[in-house]
Amino acid sequence: MNYYTAILQYDGTGLQGFQHQEGARTIQGDINLALEKILEGEFATRAASRTDKGVHALAQMIKISATDPTPLSLERFNTALPSHIKALSLTPCSADFIPSIDQSSKEYRYLFTTTDDQRFIAMAPAPLNMEAMKTCATKLKGTHDFKNFWSIGGVSNTTVREILDCELSEINPQDLFRDTIFTTDLSRSWQFKIHGRGFLKHMVRHLIGALWLVGIGELTIEDFENYLMGDLEPQRPWKKADPRGLFLVKVHYL
């Protein structure tokens, strides 16, 4: 067997997430179709993160296990991949490497604006009290129980997660997208950057939905803290945010 790690960028627009699903178009399904064209024999792919429907990646880590003895090259892999997926690197790895288990942390970014609705940048309510939202974002650092900020049905033994860094700031998204498959004509957007040991199903999008309610004044900073620190609530007043603004930015390994 040959084993490789590959770092991929992909545009998740219109696809049903990363993980292969019978009868649905997914990122993993498209990767496997590409590998079928260039590999002989059996192969398997595994990712560090099973990004959701419509979510993008600037640097997703995958492992390819293949019985084909012919070495796989980056150029050959990219030639077979569709235009919405690009391999940034391809290197041999050990048989026991598991990208979803061996990682130490992951970074996500969520881009939004109050003035434009774009393919890779979500449209938020306007106007927003950004200072109140920034205050709430800083409260996410540390170890918390995110029981009110995920979609039930996700596979997890615990809803406790450690957030290493979290920041809400204004950026030029063209800087983030430079030399990537992503484009925008906007020179200003808001960016919610979060770096943690792990994440729950739809967790970042729930956090954004709650922050937007803080921004429009339907939740106070104290309300947000109560959802973060308090008991499990049967209902939440927010909806999870549009996936178009969410990017998996980096997977960290020790």
The C-alpha angle with vertex 176 and arms to 107 and 184, in degrees rounded to 5, equals 125
Question: Which pLDDT score, from 0 to 100, does residue 116 have?
Answer: 86
What class, spelled out in words, does domain 2-92 have in CATH? alpha beta
Residue 135 confidence (pLDDT):
97
Domain residue limits, the chain? 2-92, 104-253
Would you write out the chain's pLDDT as a tens digit for each of its 254 residues?
A: 999 999 999 999 999 999 999 899 999 999 999 999 999 999 999 999 999 999 999 999 999 999 999 999 999 999 999 999 999 999 999 999 999 999 999 999 999 999 988 999 999 998 999 999 999 999 999 999 999 999 987 667 899 999 999 999 999 999 999 999 999 999 999 999 999 999 999 999 999 999 999 999 999 999 999 999 989 998 999 999 999 999 999 999 98
Strands 122-123 and 103-113, by their bridges, are parallel
Cβ–Cβ < 8 Å for 170, 188: yes
Q: Are the folds of 2-92 and 104-253 the same? A: yes
What gap in Å lies between CA 121 and CA 33, rounded to an integer? 29
Please answer whether residues 7 and 88 qualify as being in contact, where contact means their C-beta atoms are separated by less than 8 angstroms: yes
Domain over 104-253 is classified CATH 3.30.70.660: yes
pLDDT value of position 153: 72
What is the token pair recorded at 177?
A: 């997208």
Burial 27-52 (b: 16+ CB within 10 A, else e): bbbbbbebbeebbeeebebbbbbbbb
E strand or H helix at 225: helix 221-229
What single-letter amino acid sits at 84?
H
For residue 51, what pLDDT is reported?
Answer: 95
DSSP code for 126: S
Identity of the residue numbered 143: T
Using the structure block, give the residue that is written with the tokens 């050959």: 76
- pLDDT of res. 117: 84
- CA dist 216 and 227 (Å) reads 17
Please state, in angstroms and rounded to a whole number, the distance separating the CA atoms of residues 203 and 208.
9
